[in-house]
Amino acid sequence: MSETPTRTALRPTASGRLQAWLPRLVLAPSVAVSPFFVYGFMLWTFVLSLTSSRMLPSYDFVGFGQYARLMANERWWVASTNLMIFGTLFIVICLVLGALLAMLLDQKIRQEGALRTVYLYPMALSFIVTGVVWKWLLNPQLGIQAMVRSWGFESFEFDWIVDPDMAVYTLVIAAVWQASGFVMALFLAGLRGIDDSIIKAAQLDGASLPRIYWRVVMPCLRPVVFSAVMILAHIAIKSFDLVVALTGGGPGYATDLPATFMYTHAFNRAQIGLGSASAMLMLGGVLAILIPYLYSELRSRKHG
Amino acid sequence: MRCEGVGGYFWNSFAIVIPAVLISTAVGALNGYALTKWRFKGSELVFALMLFGCFIPFQVVLLPMAQTLGWLGLSSSRAGLILVHVVFGIAFTTLFFRNFYVGIPNELVSAAKLDGAGFFRIFWRILLPVSAPIIVVSVIWQFTQIWNDFLFGVAFSAHDTQPVTVALNNLVNTSTGVREYNADMAAAMIAALPTLVVYVLAGKYFVRGLTAGSVKG
Amino acid sequence: MAALEIHNVRKEFGSERVLKDVSISIDSGEFLILVGPSGCGKSTLMNAIAGLEPVTSGNIYIDGKDVTWRTPAERDIAMVFQSYALYPSMTVRHNISFGLEMRKVPKAEREAAVERVADLLQISHLLERKPAQLSGGKRQRVAMGRALAREPKVYLFDEPLSNLDAKLRVDMRTEIKKLHPRLGTTIVYVTHDQVEAMTLADCIAVMRDGHILQLGSPDEVYNNPVDMFVAGFMGSPSMNFIRATLEADGDGYALRIATPDEVDLLLPWPNGPPYGRAGGAARQAGDSRPAA
């Protein structure tokens, strides 16, 4: 149709090249900062955990000596066991309570919007505030025990917070109070996302309501359960402020968690090496949860 | 007198929270935009690397951060705390904006490219005007996270730069003197008030925006 | 001078080859339609022309200039998207004038251009509305208006009518058909609707698996398809295929067609041996497999 134009392989113009590079330039600061502040610091902490640092970071290496000390440290084992108890109970109770609340709210009750927001309020609070308030509520002289006794039940006892064996469960109570509303909101959103016609079809098949929830709805909510577990596990591992405000790790160190253990040793007890080692173990714990999650997340995204 | 003390820390918190929220939201918005609408080789990897920042236990960065702040001359300063909150908040804000912008059709950006708009112009004129829902989510999330922060506050602040959470904890857990429970309680109320107000005013939009993303997964 | 010339363009995503040596050339004012089944590469080709996706190799010329490595903005083209891609935060007026504003056209000229296309497309009364307040058909008009306002060298239409209901689609088709000679513009139009292709095009390119199987006028493609795929793809209702054998019949040739009642039909074949040894049925199709 026409003579072939000259076939010169032109390269992009200056402005074209700038356009191609701008996204990378914009990301550059965050990308430069992320590796340094996240990955660099992780590495740095790992290096510190291999040293004998006490008050100040020093760099005489003692291999994995700090990890050995940690393994031999009874307080660390108390903290780890506490995290197991606290984490498991916290996640399970939050899930059950959150799911139940969501199903109740899902029955098209009036004022649902208002209730939903009210249940979410605790999530807006700082764990410090939650801890302080529950500290009063659980204080035998001030709180629930005192109140029930004032009603005439003189022998009523609820003094878990001063009982070394039971104090860890007070952490569970306060944390559940704070987070179950959030889990409820997640479930509620998940319930709303389910196609109504599936439920109608099940009703036509003559299934009872609990049966519908158990057999039809719950399987659809698997991704919600999954993300809820992830978020809760993450809160549990990071829990530091709640312990500090509610029990201060006490009585004694009965309610220590790895997070408080790390802080106490690194900042208050001049045991930087040991604190770093415990931080690395915490990271290991998070990774054990996170890597399968990210793996499945990225894989499903590729399929999507 | 004690309440006056908490009042000062209350304003400390604001002086830290507001700049940190604004900066981390702005950076997160640009990051999310670049990661979704201008994909390049390795952009998924960049995102994965940043996403990881959401999940690390912050204990693992405390000690190096303390030393770095010292080198930067920001130890125990509000600017130092703002920096810390921005750095570790960007991971979340980027995640929010990325998930939001993924849902905005790429054709919109293509059309604007053909119309002759460049990187920043497309962001400013096309994407930003429709980003209100996710900006609300990002601002509320960052506000509550940073306002409620205790770990960074207690680790990196001095007596006069403490955020209110740290001051509250100190107040309640001092063992000297006579307990004044009414003052303690008032301090707790003050510390809780701003985030509660934010939730009352905008909680609805927050839940809507946040759950929309999390259900899609 | 060709308004658009595509020269040996290849596009690969990793190991997947989406465009395999595509070459097309169209003159100024021509209406080219790309058709083919989904996944044939027609949308990728469109994006390559627009500059939205870089090509792996080959060259693209617009108005004689090599634009292979130019940004979309530098190519002076406008595109109508299947999803319309109207800017949701802007009024119709701003949607239409945005491209002119980006090109630093003075305000008075912008206003004039908006009035002109709004008149042309009968959307003057909608100028202050937002896209969300418009029906699908109206949005489609605005999307066209946005492209028309710019008066670019080439227009690209990416299945612009496929989201409209049947009646509107026919109306808009007629309207585009009328607009084209009035504007005298060069248009590349992607569709999977071969009625659209047959009625609108000056020139049809049938694509499959990243190749252009046939490039020609609607008449040529319909009456002389190059192979069975093109023959089966074009035309509605689609063509019947009848298996036949070509055999010598005296001086000329004849087609032998088997029928159910075991009496073979013999049709005279005036054209001589068309495709070598074995021939196809009807005039359009070829079936290379020998008949049973």
Q: How many CB pairs under 8 A join A and B?
A: 209
Tell me, what's the pLDDT at B177? Answer: 61
Segment (H or E) for C211: strand C211-216
Closest chain A C-alpha to C32 CA, distance in angstroms: 14
Chain B residue with minimum CA distance to C154? B114
Strand partners, C2: C27
Tell me, what's the pLDDT at B211? Answer: 58
| Alpha helices for B38-131 (secondary structure H) | 43-55, 59-71, 78-102, 106-114, 119-122
Burial C65-81 (b: 16+ CB within 10 A, else e): bbbbbbbbbbbbbbbbb
pLDDT tens digits along A108-127: 777 777 777 778 788 888 88
Q: Chains contacting B with at least 3 CB pairs below 8 Å?
A: A, C
Average pLDDT over every residue of B127-156: 89
* Contacting A residues, span 81-110, partner chain B, CB-CB under 8 Å: none
- The minimal CB distance from B114 to the residues C72, C83, C90 is found for C72
Closest chain B C-alpha to A76 CA, distance in angstroms: 15
Closest chain A C-alpha to B165 CA, distance in angstroms: 6
Tell me, what's the pLDDT at B175? Answer: 59
The answer to whether the peptide bond before residue C237 is cis (omega within 30 degrees of 0) is: yes
Conformational region of residue A252, where left means phi above 0, alpha means psi within -120 to 50, and beta covers everything else: left
pLDDT tens digits along A224-268: 888 788 888 878 887 888 888 888 877 878 888 888 899 988 888
- The minimal CB distance from B114 to the residues C50, C83, C87 is found for C50
User: In a mutagenesis test of the A interface, which of C69, C76, C102 is the best target, namely the one with the most A β-carbons within 10 Å?
Assistant: C69
Handedness of CA A198, A114, A138, A80 (dihedral sign): positive
Chain C residue with minimum CA distance to B104? C85
Q: Do B108 and C52 touch (CB under 8 A)?
A: no
Q: Do A7 and C59 touch (CB under 8 A)?
A: yes
Domains of chain B by start residue, with CATH? 2-216 (1.10.3720.10)
A chain contacts of residue C2, beta-carbon cutoff 8 Å: 1-2, 5
User: What are φ and ψ of residue A205, in 5° steps?
Assistant: -75, -5
A chain contacts of residue C59, beta-carbon cutoff 8 Å: 7, 9
pLDDT confidence bin for B170, thresholds 50/70/90 = confident
The type of residue at C228 is M
3-state SS class at C210: coil
Query: Tokens 């009364």 — which residue?
Result: C125
Distance of CA B203 to the CA centre of its chain: 16
The verdict on A296 touching B (C-beta cutoff 8 Å) is no
Tell me, what's the pLDDT at B217? Answer: 34
What residues contact residue C18 under an 8 Å CB cut-off, 6+ apart?
C11, C12, C41, C44, C210
Chain C residue with minimum CA distance to A18? C71
The verdict on A110 touching C (C-beta cutoff 8 Å) is no
Domains of chain C by start residue, with CATH? 2-233 (3.40.50.300), 240-292 (no CATH)
Q: Do A16 and C71 touch (CB under 8 A)?
A: yes
- The minimal CB distance from A276 to the residues B63, B67, B172 is found for B63
Residue A83, token pair as written in the block: 């995290």
- What is the DSSP code string of B159-214? GGG--HHHHHHHHHH--SS---HHHHHHHHHHHHHHHHHHHHHHHHHHHHHHHHHH
Tell me, what's the pLDDT at C91? Answer: 93
Closest CA to C212 of C40, C58, C26: C40
Closest CA to A245 of A158, A142, A175: A175
* Contacting A residues, span 12-41, partner chain B, CB-CB under 8 Å: 19-20, 22-24, 26-27, 29-31, 33-35, 37-41
Conformational region of residue C149, where left means phi above 0, alpha means psi within -120 to 50, and beta covers everything else: alpha
Chain C residue with minimum CA distance to B105? C85
C195: burial class by Cβ within 10 Å (0-12, 13-18, 19+)? middle
Is the Cβ–Cβ distance between B115 and C98 less than 8 Å? yes
Q: What gap in Å lies between CA C127 and CA C125, rounded to an integer?
A: 6
Q: Do B61 and A41 touch (CB under 8 A)?
A: yes
C chain contacts of residue B38, beta-carbon cutoff 8 Å: none
pLDDT tens digits along A73-92: 888 998 999 998 999 999 99
Q: Which long-range contacts (CB under 8 A, 24 or more apart) does C220-223 make?
A: C222/C198, C223/C283, C223/C284
Q: What gap in Å lies between CA C103 and CA C99, rounded to an integer?
A: 6
The verdict on C103 touching B (C-beta cutoff 8 Å) is yes
Tell me, what's the pLDDT at B215? Answer: 38
A8: burial class by Cβ within 10 Å (0-12, 13-18, 19+)? exposed
Q: Do C102 and B105 touch (CB under 8 A)?
A: no
User: In a mutagenesis test of the C interface, which of B40, B115, B121, B125 is the best target, namely the one with the most C β-carbons within 10 Å?
Assistant: B115
- The minimal CB distance from C102 to the residues B105, B107, B115 is found for B115
Q: Do A6 and C66 touch (CB under 8 A)?
A: yes
Q: Do C73 and B117 touch (CB under 8 A)?
A: yes
DSSP code for C162: T
What mean pLDDT is reported for chain A?
81
Strand partners, C6: C24, C60
Span of A149-158, A294-303, B48-57 with lowest mean pLDDT: A294-303
Residue B53, token pair as written in the block: 């920042």
Q: Provide the percentage of residues in chain C whose pLDDT is more than 90.
A: 30
User: In a mutagenesis test of the C interface, which of A10, A11, A17, A21 is the best target, namely the one with the most C β-carbons within 10 Å?
Assistant: A10
Q: What gap in Å lies between CA C189 and CA B26, rounded to an integer?
A: 40
Distance of CA C275 to the CA centre of its chain: 29
In Å, the largest CA–CA distance within chain C is 78
Q: Kindly state which CATH superfamily the domain A74-303 is placed in.
A: MetI-like (1.10.3720.10)
Tell me, what's the pLDDT at B112? Answer: 92
pLDDT tens digits along C69-88: 888 888 889 999 988 899 99
- The minimal CB distance from C69 to the residues A4, A6, A10 is found for A10
Residue C50, token pair as written in the block: 């627009």
B chain contacts of residue A303, beta-carbon cutoff 8 Å: none
Is the Cβ–Cβ distance between A245 and A128 less than 8 Å? yes
Q: Do C5 and A4 touch (CB under 8 A)?
A: yes
Residue B167, token pair as written in the block: 């001051």
3-state SS class at C10: strand
Task: Report the complex ipTM.
Answer: 0.81
Please indicate whether residue A178 or residue A222 has the higher confidence score (pLDDT). A178
- The minimal CB distance from C85 to the residues B105, B116, B121 is found for B105
- A294 pLDDT above the threshold of 80: no
B chain contacts of residue C78, beta-carbon cutoff 8 Å: 114
Q: In the Cβ-directed half-sphere of B10, how many Cα atoms lie within 13 Å?
A: 16
A chain contacts of residue C5, beta-carbon cutoff 8 Å: 2, 4-5
Burial B177-211 (b: 16+ CB within 10 A, else e): eeeeeebbeebbebbbebbbebbeebbebbbebbb
Is the Cβ–Cβ distance between C18 and C44 less than 8 Å? yes
Average pLDDT over every residue of C114-125: 91
Is the Cβ–Cβ distance between C102 and B116 less than 8 Å? yes
pLDDT tens digits along C172-221: 889 888 888 888 889 999 988 888 888 899 999 999 998 899 999 998 98
Pairing of strands C245-249, C252-257: antiparallel
Helix axes B132-148, B164-173, angle to 10 degrees: 30
DSSP code for A5: P
